[in-house]
Amino acid sequence: MTAGTESGMDPDDESLLEALLAGEHRALARTISKIENRSPGYRDLISALYAHTGQADVIGITGSPGAGKSTLVDKLAEAYRERGETVGIIAIDPSSPFTGGAVLGDRIRMASTVGDMDVFVRSMSARGTLGGLSTATADAVKAMDAFGKDKIIIETVGAGQNEIDIVRTADTVAVLVPPGSGDDVQTLKAGILEIADVFVVNKADRDGADRTVRELRDMISLGEENGVGGGGHHGVDAMGDVGGRDGGGDTWGDATEASADDEDAAAEGWTPPIVETVATTGTGVDDFMDELANHRAYLVDSGARAEKARQRSAEEIRTLLREDVHSLLEDELAAAGGVDDLAEAVRTGETDPYTIADEVLEPVAACIEHLETDADDRSDDEP
């Protein structure tokens, strides 16, 4: 019996899952389309994928527009293929204002691996999501992971500080900084520093590259002194939270509850290295790959990779609950006459938003209370 049959999956989706797990790229493309379009049955399909995930190395590439992200991703994929590893690329493109779909602008700069079936490139729409990543992106990563891709690279839109959403999906985040861009470095100081596992000064053959490297080194050094970024910000804290990236304010690398084998590695923390590259020629790409590998090794040795996976799962649960509750409440609003009628009632002074919210939530709260009562009764009846 297949995983799909056990979960009540549609027979067509069962066949799609089997084809994906058998390594058929067309099935992978169809699966991602189903996920992105939120087609009927997509949740059962994603649920069945989970048992086959967890092996891929997920790399996030972000940075300001014009930093050369697409070109570097192309060269990175080419280099991984030369090492015999398979690659999946998700290029998060700006959304079309007319269709909501991806504009596909990044695909034209990924030419080195065209025709290589072991490099699967998929453009996905940001769909207006604040962090530049739609919910479907994380699900598409699972599809590529279950398919068996060794490396999954996510290239984001490059919308500045909102790109911190990439942390919730990628194991390692590389932030690209173009040379001679003092304003960009100032922007990084405002928050992007906290998400970078590796800094890349791309287009390093241009004037100002050396200065940008110096500014980044100063930032990292200052961040370490202030407990933001650097060595104290990329480990596992005593509460088991990774990096305080959830805004809890804990510094990374505390690891007071880590195992004896992991304690030294975690205590050392991770200081983001700075790599200089020229993506158009491939210069520095090998050094970049080495630093990505070093960070992955650090995550495994320190225990941070397992903790990141746990936090990722926790965030997915919260996201699904928010989506489902939102859907339930939309149904309740419709049953109460629709938002427009309710808003008109507020405008005319018949009621107010707080009263409406209480009334809409009342049946949902009553249902939850009923379920809790039934659970308590069953618990009391058990010997």
The pLDDT value given to residue 351:
94
- Are 208 and 179 in contact by the 8 Å Cβ rule? The answer is yes
Query: What SS3 state is found at 120?
Result: strand
Dist. CA 324–CA 177, nearest whole Å: 38
The pLDDT value given to residue 278:
95
Query: What SS3 state is found at 116?
Result: coil
Q: How many CB atoms lie within 10 A of CB 107?
A: 18
pLDDT in tens, 91-147: 987 644 334 444 444 444 455 566 678 999 998 876 544 444 667 888 999 999 999
The pLDDT value given to residue 201:
93
What one-character-per-residue DSSP string does 196-225 give?
Answer: -SEEEE-STTSTTHHHHHHHHHHHHHHHHH
pLDDT along the chain (383 residues), means of 10: 56 96 95 92 94 95 86 95 96 56 47 73 68 74 97 80 71 89 58 82 91 88 64 39 38 35 54 94 96 96 92 88 85 82 93 91 83 72 62
Give 336's contacts (C-beta < 8 A, 6+ positions apart): 342, 356, 359, 360
**Of 15, 316, 342, which is closest to residue 139 (Cα–Cα)?**
316
The pLDDT value given to residue 128:
46
- Name the pTM for this structure: 0.78
DSSP state, 105? G
Dist. CA 168–CA 366, nearest whole Å: 33
The pLDDT value given to residue 3:
42
Dist. CA 68–CA 155, nearest whole Å: 11
CATH 3.40.630.30 is the classification of domain 53-307 = no
| Percent share of the chain, pLDDT over 70 | 71
The pLDDT value given to residue 50:
94
Helix residue ranges per DSSP H, the chain? 3-6, 11-21, 25-37, 42-49, 69-82, 135-147, 182-189, 209-226, 260-268, 285-302, 304-335, 339-347, 353-381
